[in-house]
Structure 1
Amino acid sequence: MEDKSIKIVYLYHSGFVVETQNHFLVFDYFNDTPNNSARSLSNGVVSPSDFPVDKQILVFVTHQHRDHFNPIIFNWDKNHSNIKYILSSDIELGEYKNNYFQLDKYETLKINNVEISTFGSTDLGVSYLVSVDGVTIFHGGDLNWWHWKEFSREQQLKEELDFKAEVNKLIGKKIDIAFIPVDPRLEELYYLAGEYFINVIKPKLLIPIHFADNCNITKVFAEKINDNKKVAIIERRGQIIEYTI
């Protein structure tokens, strides 16, 4: 991998690996069952054997919901001491006591040369802004414009205002890669969060998240935005997305 090339691997739902020059980042890992019998990144799962020995490993969890967090991640440091866990404050650690930082929203953390800032969510936990090896990454977790049809008009308006208020805190940040929910359960309004984020924050690349098995929604969203250079189309678990700084 060239120094200025970022390798992104789609795991499942909101889970991704982002590999930079000196770091190996994992976000919101939960589905530990591979596409087939082979356990590998190419089948959408992380195994300790995947961790590069010469890079700092950072594992991020935005919140405790089971589709964003699997406690199996705490087994990864048994053979790799070069792991740090960055967790939202709502995560219950149980007996785990090593190598972790817990953050609430609007906090900052520096790990060597990696700068981490937390922002809020429109559900549980936090969202992360991470500056690492010359690239700035935003992972929204459950920060979404939750326009549910069954909500009252007042509830729908509150969801809209809460989402926009949180995203607007990022105005002025130069974000290279943004992971933003494009949730098909919201039916025809699945696109609201992603479209608003692109229009207001203008990331260089938006990668849809929070769509479970419905990868096709990423293609539908990209076509709606009408700029495939700005939106990644995801077709399968283990898919690699290359980004050049």
Structure 2
Amino acid sequence: MKITFIEHSGFVLEMENIVLIFDYYKGEIPPLPQSKKIYIFASHSHGDHYNPAIWSLKKQYENITYILSDDIETKEEAVFMHPHEKIQLDDMEVETLKSNDLGVAFLVYAEGKCIYHGGDLNWWHWNGEPEEDNLYYKNTFQEEIKLLEGKEIDVAFMLLDPRQEDKYCWGMNYFLEHVHVKDVFPMHCFGFYNITKHYLHCEDGRKWNQIVHEITGPGQVFEDL
């Protein structure tokens, strides 16, 4: 597998026969092979996860399918998925979790690999907000992550959000402690890419530095995964 970080929560994952694009909203999508089937995912309608510009890719690539959370409104042709749904598309299986913000998280099985994209499913904890709100986010996040326990995930795209201040890695760490995963790519950093270096070089995440990859900026490529 070859993975290209676009921006924010957007990634391109190229496999032997297919290409998966997740949550594009800005940045440069690299040229894609015309010979491969392309699947474009959008986890929900928030402007930093879904950009209608994705529809212009139909003009460049003929073999393309869109898989969207069902909260996204569009008249374009797409496969719409609601939380806790499982579907078969060609030789690929797609399963969804329920985001505790909006939309879904995706679990994709393709070419013998399992790929997870968290969307906005996270342990959201906001300093100064009502305790009942923070407890809701904690409980709903942990309930969804339980559905991943026992699965073998090859690649995961998981949130590491600096806006959460000292709670920025609670979701990431809970995920890593409860899910068996080989390679993890932090996302949702709002351009503060030094947050991943900080995470991997302090007590917050040092023990995960063989699993979690450091994101340094748009266009970064990871190969031979």
Q: TM-score, normalised by structure 1?
A: 0.88
Q: Distance in 2 between matches of 1:156 and 1:239?
A: 34
Q: What is the aligned counterpart of 1:26 among 21, 29, 34?
A: 21
Q: Distance in 2 between matches of 1:111 and 1:55?
A: 15
Q: Where do residues 34-183 of structure 1 align in structure 2 (5 Å cutoff)?
A: 45-46=28-29, 50-93=31-74, 95-96=75-76, 98=77, 100-183=78-161
Confirm or deny: 8 A CA contact 2:97 2:144 kept in the other structure: yes
Q: TM-score, normalised by structure 2?
A: 0.95
Counterpart secondary structure, 1:156: helix
Q: Distance in 1 between matches of 2:174 and 2:180?
A: 9
1:225: which partner in 2?
205
1:200: which partner in 2?
178
Q: Distance in 1 between matches of 2:132 and 2:60?
A: 51
Q: CA offset at residue 243 of structure 1?
A: 4.5
Amino acid at match of 1:58: Y
Residue by residue, what CA displacement relative to the aligned partner does 1:74-98 show, whole Å, maximum 9, x if unpaired? 11112322000000000111x42x3
Q: Distance in 2 between matches of 1:163 and 1:211?
A: 19
Amino acid at match of 1:78: K
Q: Distance in 2 between matches of 1:25 and 1:169?
A: 23
Give the gaps of 5 or more residues in structure 2.
none
Q: Distance in 2 between matches of 1:222 and 1:83?
A: 36
Counterpart secondary structure, 2:134: helix
Q: CA offset at residue 210 of structure 1?
A: 0.4
Equivalenced residue count is 222
Residue by residue, what CA displacement relative to the aligned partner does 1:145-198 show, whole Å, maximum 9, x if unpaired? 110012112221221111101111111111011111100000011000000000
Identical pairs, percent: 39
Q: CA offset at residue 51 of structure 1?
A: 2.0
Q: CA offset at residue 233 of structure 1?
A: 0.1
Amino acid at match of 1:91: I
Q: Distance in 2 between matches of 1:160 and 1:240?
A: 32
Counterpart secondary structure, 2:191: coil
Q: Distance in 1 between matches of 2:224 and 2:122?
A: 24
1:240: which partner in 2?
221
Give the gaps of 5 or more residues in structure 1.
1-5, 33-44
Counterpart secondary structure, 1:148: coil
1:37: which partner in 2?
none
Q: Distance in 1 between matches of 2:199 and 2:140?
A: 22
Amino acid at match of 1:46: I
Higher RCO (C-alpha 8 Å, min separation 6): 1
Residue by residue, what CA displacement relative to the aligned partner does 1:97-124 show, whole Å, maximum 9, x if unpaired? x3x1000011112111111101110100
Q: CA offset at residue 236 of structure 1?
A: 1.2
CA RMSD, aligned part only?
Answer: 1.2
Counterpart secondary structure, 2:95: strand
Q: Distance in 2 between matches of 1:85 and 1:30?
A: 14
2:187: which partner in 1?
209
